[in-house]
Amino acid sequence: MKRLSLKLKLTLLYSFFMTLLTCAALAILFSLSNKEILASTQNTLKKQLHESLKDIEWEDGSFDLDSDFYNLDGGVYLSLYTENGDFLFGRIPYGFSLHPDFSDGQIQTLSDAEKQWYIYDLSYRLNGYGLVFVRGISSVTDAESSFRITLRFAVIVLPLLVVLTAVIGYLFTRRTLRPVRRITETVRQIQGDQDLSRRVELGKGKDEIYQLADTFDQLLTKIESAFQREQQFTSDVSHELRTPVTVILAQCDAILSDASLPAEQRVSIGLIQKKAQNMAQMISQLLLLSRADQGRQQLQPELLNLSELTEMVCEEQAMLSEEKKIAITTQIEPDLFVKVDETFYIRMLVNLISNAISYGKAGGHILVSCYEQSGFFVGQVEDDGIGIAAEDLPHIWERFYRVDSSRSASGHSGLGLSMVKWIVEAHGGTISVKSSPGEGSIFTFLLPMKAE
């Protein structure tokens, strides 16, 4: 039941009640036995006959019968006879060929070739005339067959009514719940593209769902503005921190360039410089990401020989990896031209390689390869380092996520891969990772090749 949609649940609910109602109606109809139908026919016959007596009068030497006597009310045929049984006035059913004796106040049940009849006679003393017989005839067969027709009609129509209510109910519920679908779609779209400017926009309506959608839109407006303020704050703070860090770095350079600086102070200033460099890197990553969030980070793509650029970056990084005795080898298909922003491509690749160095084992290897596949430039950075556990893999792209902060190399804030992912996607590409703990990781990025 939990898996059914609300509209299906509601449809099932009122279809169930409708079926219940139909079953009750049919049960009542079926429980009306033949006996009851026949008893009611007899009662009608008696009642009509008794009522008809007032319609018969004897005036000025002739009978005066009210027109009601001929009306066939309740399907009862009335006729008037003399004391000797001679027919005077009234109506006899078509095909009625029986001539039973009069039996005063008794209902007789008689059958002819086609039908069964109830016959009811009353003797009546008519003022001024004398004794007459009034006879009432009613068809038992007609009463039974009209009941059967009603029953058959009910058996066909009531279930049809259930189906019709279910269909109309389903359509109505679907229409009523359309706004809920819009709300769900909007939330899904926001989850998909993180675009908080989306709104349900159902307009003003009086029903509760419209009010819910309106409240939801108001909430989104508040979240969006809070989010924008937070982005602006991060962007402002990063921007403001850039100048002091630049000054610190410049001062460190100046102090360290003094040859007479005592060794102890040189170490301390070197440490300050290292930390300031880390800080500068973090600030620049934060600034890039907050600008990206605000949609302000522009790319300046140009057609570049990525094979050469990649080779160059690897050579530069090889100098750093040597400190950790990690060898960088390359397998690069020559002259792969792709339209990219040079600075951002370098930042992305440097990040991947510096991670491979940081999380690589001393004496290990890094393989950087590039090739073309199905119109894409494929870049891979493969290391034989510590690897990443399967449960951490989906999270490594999140900001400030570090698998094990105690083991993270200094200067690693957990922003690097978020930035890498943004850069790849901003170029219309994708990035993925395969890793096994203790064996190493392979980061693979694909960039569409727009070059001829």
- With CB under 6 A as the contact rule, the residue among 90, 136, 364, 414 that binds ligand ADP is 414
Segment interacting with ligand ADP (CB under 6 A) among 38-46, 57-65, 342-350, 379-387: 379-387
Nearest-approach distance from CB 418 to ligand ADP, in angstroms: 6
- With CB under 6 A as the contact rule, the residue among 385, 422, 427, 449 that binds ligand ADP is 385
Report residue 112 as tokens. 């002819």
- With CB under 6 A as the contact rule, the residue among 214, 341, 382, 383 that binds ligand ADP is 383
Q: What is the CA radius of gyration of the chain?
A: 49
Tell me the C-alpha distance between 125 and 123, whole Å: 7
- With CB under 6 A as the contact rule, the residue among 413, 426, 434, 444 that binds ligand ADP is 413
Task: Name the burial class of residue 117, with classes exposed (0-12), middle (13-18) and buried (19+) by CB atoms within 10 angstroms of its CB.
Answer: buried
- With CB under 6 A as the contact rule, the residue among 179, 402, 422, 429 that binds ligand ADP is 402
Residues in the chain: 452
Residue 408 contacts ligand ADP per CB under 6 A:
yes
Tell me the C-alpha distance between 212 and 183, whole Å: 9
By beta-carbon proximity to ligand ADP, the closer residue of 239 and 399 is: 399
Segment interacting with ligand ADP (CB under 6 A) among 227-235, 258-266, 341-349, 413-421: 413-421
Residue found by looking up tokens 């008696």 in the block: 46
Tell me the C-alpha distance between 91 and 76, whole Å: 9
Q: 135, 112 in Cβ contact below 8 A?
A: no
The H-or-E segment that residue 130 falls in is strand 130-139
Residue 81 contacts ligand ADP per CB under 6 A:
no
By beta-carbon proximity to ligand ADP, the closer residue of 129 and 401 is: 401
Report the SS3 class of residue 65: strand
By beta-carbon proximity to ligand ADP, the closer residue of 332 and 417 is: 417
- With CB under 6 A as the contact rule, the residue among 122, 213, 220, 417 that binds ligand ADP is 417
Residue 412 contacts ligand ADP per CB under 6 A:
yes
By beta-carbon proximity to ligand ADP, the closer residue of 342 and 398 is: 398
Task: Name the burial class of residue 1, with classes exposed (0-12), middle (13-18) and buried (19+) by CB atoms within 10 angstroms of its CB.
Answer: exposed
By beta-carbon proximity to ligand ADP, the closer residue of 48 and 355 is: 355
| CA 8 and chain centroid, separation | 12
Query: What contacts 55, CB < 8 A, 6 or more positions away?
Result: 65, 66, 68, 69
By beta-carbon proximity to ligand ADP, the closer residue of 213 and 282 is: 282
- Site residue total, ligand ADP (CB under 6 A): 21
Question: Cα separations (Å) of 68 from 53, 91, 157?
Answer: 11, 12, 36
- Alpha helix stretches (DSSP H) within 114-207: 140-176, 178-193
Nearest-approach distance from CB 282 to ligand ADP, in angstroms: 9
Tell me the C-alpha distance between 100 and 98, whole Å: 6
Task: Name the burial class of residue 158, with classes exposed (0-12), middle (13-18) and buried (19+) by CB atoms within 10 angstroms of its CB.
Answer: middle
Which residues ranging from 310 to 369 are in contact with ligand ADP (CB under 6 A)?
Answer: 355-356, 359
Nearest-approach distance from CB 402 to ligand ADP, in angstroms: 3
| Residue closest to ligand ADP (Cβ) | 416
Residue 403 contacts ligand ADP per CB under 6 A:
yes
Segment interacting with ligand ADP (CB under 6 A) among 3-11, 74-82, 122-130, 378-386: 378-386
A 10 A CB-CB count for 441 gives 24
What are the two backbone dihedrals, phi and then psi, of residue 5, each rounded to the nearest 5 degrees?
-75, 160
Residue 382 contacts ligand ADP per CB under 6 A:
no
Tell me the C-alpha distance between 406 and 410, whole Å: 9
Tell me the C-alpha distance between 320 and 354, whole Å: 9
Nearest-approach distance from CB 366 to ligand ADP, in angstroms: 9
Nearest-approach distance from CB 296 to ligand ADP, in angstroms: 22
Which residues ranging from 428 to 447 are in contact with ligand ADP (CB under 6 A)?
Answer: 441
**Interface with ligand ADP (CB under 6 A):** 355-356, 359, 383, 385-388, 396, 401-403, 408, 412-418, 441
